[in-house]
Chains A and B, each alone.
Chain A
Amino acid sequence: MSDLAWEHLSNQAIGAAGIVYFLALLAHLVEWSALRAVPVGSAARRAVPATAGAPASPADALTADDGPVAATPSGAGESARFRVDMFGNLALMLTVIACAAHFVALVARGMAADPNRVPWGNMYEFTITGSFVVVAGYLLLRKRFGLAWMGPIVTSVVVVLLMVAVLWLYAPIEPLTEALNSYWLVIHVMSAIVATGAFTLGGITSALYLVRARAEKRGTVGDTGYIARLPALATLDRVSYRIHAFAFPVWTFAVLISGPIWAHQAWSSYWNWDPKEVVAFITWVIYAAYLHARATAGWRGRNAAIVALIGVASLWFNFIGINYFSTTSQHSYASGSAVVSLRVD
């Protein structure tokens, strides 16, 4: 295949992935609206069963649990249950298909470049890879952590991210700038993207923690609806912590180990106080604060979740925002090759 054909394939696959994610989101919405007719207790259709994560329990309650549902008394509940099953499965299937198309888009993007390279050369490519990591992480952890309730949120976040990427960040395929042309690109950018995807999942969990905590405080959790089917606060908190605990060392490696080593090779200085470096460091400090907050009386729970949300805001600002804020950043991939950037002292 020619480079041009690969490029077309990549663009079409991204478009297809976006559409299918959107269909998955619609299916999730139907699923969850149908669930409104099924009270949590009567159908035992909790998104995550009481003993979340226990090996013996069906973690994937939305699709795998059918024992207690037979007890649903009314016919309306029966048809609602059918719709829940049907659209839940459909949404999952669509998400898997979209994720596969997303992956094809990434591979084709790398194949379209001459010479072939990893598809992490500009903001468009970072964003489509980052959103891929979000979906892949969700699909991988779905069973283990019982993340079925995250489906509607993840699909909507990814649809938005892909729209941002395609509408605002799209850049034609081009060879890497000289400073980016290094094997450290694979190591540094890979770890940064993986950490970004994982932090995003953790941020979604923390946000839902806050939503549920607020509903519980007001006593509006009720028996039906989305919030009622979120896992208990302690479970949300634990899942959020586990995801963050995975992402934090990866981020540490990306920002404070591989980043400085590569910066030294390419720009001759381990740490330049470049705006992107500074905000990455700020993000690191915020997540360090999150981990400490979870171990501090009076901070765990709600305050820790707020810190995690500040962290995810800082993370995405650093990922996209700072490039528009500061054009002289050495990380501003829009500019020409870093090698002409001469400082006249």
Chain B
Amino acid sequence: MESPTKPEHEDDRRTGELTAWELVRWTWRQLTSMRTALVLLLLLALGAIPGSVIPQQGVDALKTENWQAAHPHLTPIYQKLSLFGVYHSPWFAAIYLLLMVSLVGCIVPRLFVYWRGFRKQPPVAPRNLSRLPDHTSFTSDEAPDAVLERAAGRLSRRHRVAVGEGWVSAERGYLREAGNLLFHLSVLVVLVGFGIGSMFGYKGGVIVIVGQGFSNQLSQYDDFDPGSLFDAGRMEPFCFTVDSFSAQWIDSGPRRGLARGFRAPITYRASCGNDPSTWSPQKQYDLRVNHPLTIGGSQVFLIGHGYAPVITVRDAQGHKIYDGPTPFLPENSSFQSFGVIKAPGLKADQDIGLEGFFYPYFAMINGDPVNLMGDDKNPLISLLAYQGDLGYGAGNSQSVYALDKAGMTQLKKPDGKMYRVDLQPGQTTQLPNGAGTVTFNGVQDWVRLQISRTPDVWLTLLGVILALIGLLGSLFIRPRRIWVRASRRDGVTQVEVAALDRSGGGDLAPVLSSVVDSLQAGVPRATSGETRRTEDDRLTKEGGHA
């Protein structure tokens, strides 16, 4: 669209500059208009939809990968549109940044308008009150001044009142706009707080085997998701030990086989650096779901649990090449778990790798184990064995939950048939080809902990609470203007009352009638009043506005 004052002569520099300025102003005005804000709000809602339907990389990476594998044709298109990371995508950012600009551009001028208007007197009563949609009139024998004086006295209780020649003007509900402004400003505070929290904060997950400890250092985490301005040097120096873990297994009812009442008592110190003399005293906490432990500004959450079979691997010469609990990751709610054991050999190509499942409560069906439930009452490990080179020498980092089989050969029975290590606690088995032995010593629990720090979360919380207060004010305070005009005509006093609800949510008929009642109180009426307020009136009003 072009500005109507755009000059015809493009070579005239002065007016050309003016046009550019006008274009900027026009754009700004468009951007900060309510209509644009409304469209942007709807766009924001629309833009958020794909993120709720398409799996998101940042929310569930595994599901996203599966989806991508299942839809090879759509995936490249979706990736171009950032549909796997909607909330970090440029176009989503564009919508909310425009919305923010629109919000600021709308709110700041209104702040000034409000500041100036706050001390203003109510406006002069319109000349013809009967033109207003909500009005009424009556006649009285009193002098106009007496009526107006009573009106001013009556209205000044809950209104700001101005009195003029033959009229009284009253206004109330100034705080509605204050609430409105407070709400919108608080939205900005929330966003700033949210931004600070996610930029300077972090969250990380770690699996800790019961009985083992953790100290809050970057290297100790299994996965770590820092904010963009996170500084590892400022991590709080706490440490803790997971003392035990217990869960109640439900053995009847519809939730049979599932667990609840997870508890992981832990012993922690808020500060434990290299020098034991600076350690803070040891404390206990009963860590449970919904009951995180707060240490300083960080919080520790119990978000998962599982089993770590204790396995010993010996090589052909009987040397212990692996010994200890290894966390296996649950694959379903009955805790059939998958895991890998990597036992580096003393000689090259003598590494032993084991890969397979842990069954907490197994039953053998046709020679294969089937898991019955998650309680570890009858555990079994069932693993495939490999021998060769684990690939540690290459210097590349490896996942502890995946076996690199490039340099490994699967161990088979002498007759070439499939070989599987099936062991119950306390059992030992010989690997084929005299490669060594595997012993299953027992089972330990592990817990998965999420540790996070969100700095200045109070700012966000404060913003949200202020926003709610502002919202309540802007929705429930009713700004209202009431005018009374009185004049003497033909020996009687004609009194007109009109009201205007500026929020569009009020019903003014009772307001008008209560004002009229209070003006007529105790005064004999000259003639009966005539109230013009019908639904048809409202219809015309509504039609006129639309």
Which chain A residues have a beta carbon within 8 Å of chain B's beta carbons?
50-56, 171-172, 174-175, 177-179, 181-182, 184, 231-235, 237-238, 241-242, 245, 248-249, 252-253, 256-257, 264-270, 272-275, 278-279, 281-282, 285-286, 288-289, 291-302, 307, 314, 322, 325-326, 328, 335-345
Asked whether, in the complex, the Cβ of A232 is within 8 Å of the Cβ of B333, the reply is no
Closest chain A residue to B51, Cβ basis? A278
Quick check: B223 and A175 within 8 Å, CB to CB? no
- Nearest 8 A/B pairs, CB to CB: A336-B333, A268-B301, A278-B52, A234-B538, A232-B535, A268-B450, A285-B45, A345-B223
Pick the most buried of B223, B261, B329, B509: most chain A CB atoms within 10 A of its CB: B509
- Expressed in whole angstroms, the Cα–Cα distance for A231 and B539 within the complex equals 11
Shortest distance between the CB of A290 and any CB in chain B (Å) = 10
Alpha-carbon gap, A238 to B501, bound state (A): 12
Whether B262 and A279, one on each chain, are in contact in the complex, defined by CB atoms closer than 8 angstroms, is no
Whether B41 pairs with A288 at a CB distance below 8 angstroms is yes
Is A273's CB under 8 angstroms from B51's CB?
Answer: yes
Residues in chain B near residue A172, CB distance under 8 A: 253-254
B507–A52 CB distance below 8 A: yes
Q: Is B271 an interface residue (CB 8 A)?
A: no
Partner-contacting stretch, out of B57-65, B143-151, B518-526: B57-65
A268 in contact with B304 (CB, 8 Å): no
**B545 part of interface (Cβ distance < 8 Å):** yes
B542 touches A344 (CB 8 A): no
Please give the distance in Å from A258's CB to the nearest CB on chain B. Answer: 10
- Residue from the list A232, A299, A325 in contact with B38, Cβ < 8 A: A299
Q: Which residues of A contact B59 (CB under 8 A)?
A: 272-274
Expressed in whole angstroms, the minimum distance between the Cβ of B323 and any Cβ of chain A is 25
Which B residues are in CB contact (< 8 Å) with A291? 475
Residues from 480 to 516 in B contacting A, C-beta threshold 8 Å: 504-507, 509-510, 513
The distance in angstroms between the C-alpha atoms of A233 and B290, with both chains bound, is 48
Question: In the complex, what distance in Å separates the CA atom of A175 from the CA atom of B53?
Answer: 30
1/0 per residue, CB under 8 A from A, across B46-85: the answer is 0011011101101111110000000000000000000000
* Chain A residues within 8 Å of B539, by CB: 232-234
B258 touches A289 (CB 8 A): no
Interface flag for B35 (CB, 8 Å): yes
User: B303 an interface residue at 8 Å Cβ cutoff?
Assistant: yes
Shortest B43–chain A CB gap in Å is: 9
Is residue B472 within 8 Å, beta carbon to beta carbon, of the partner chain?
A: yes
A339, B302: Cα distance in complex, Å: 8
- Since A181-B289, A285-B41 are in contact, a sample of 4 more A-B pairs with Cβ atoms closer than 8 Å, ordered by chain A residue number, is A181-B260, A289-B45, A291-B475, A335-B333
Q: Is the CB of A342 within 8 A of B535?
A: no
Q: Is the CB of B542 within 8 A of A266?
A: no
The distance from the CB of A171 to the nearest CB of chain B, in whole angstroms, is 8
Partner of A245, one of B223, B374, B475: B475
Among B153-161, B355-363, B421-429, B463-471, the stretch in contact with A: B463-471
Tell me if B259 is interfacial: C-beta within 8 Å of chain A.
yes
Asked whether, in the complex, the Cβ of A340 is within 8 Å of the Cβ of B330, the reply is yes
CB of B42 within 8 Å of the partner chain? yes
* B476 close to A (CB within 8 Å): yes
Which of A181, A253, A267, A282 is the one whose CB lies under 8 Å from B49?
Answer: A282
Contact flag A282-B48 (CB < 8 Å), given A298-B35, A328-B63, A342-B306: yes
Q: Which residues of B contact A341 (CB under 8 A)?
A: 304
How far apart are the CA atoms of A236 and B51 in the complex, in Å? 35
A314 to B49, alpha carbons, bound, how many Å?
10
CA A275 – CA B53 in complex, angstroms?
7
20 example contacts (A-B, Cβ-Cβ < 8 A) are as follows A53-B510, A54-B507, A54-B513, A181-B290, A235-B538, A238-B504, A241-B505, A245-B475, A253-B468, A268-B452, A269-B450, A273-B59, A282-B52, A286-B42, A289-B41, A291-B475, A292-B34, A341-B304, A342-B329, A344-B62
Q: Is the CB of A270 within 8 A of B454?
A: yes
Indicate if the CB atoms of B545 and A267 lie closer than 8 Å: no
Given A174-B253, A281-B48, A322-B52: A51 in contact with B545 (beta carbons within 8 A): no
Q: For residue A343, which residues in chain B have a CB less than 8 angstroms away from its CB? A: 60-62, 205
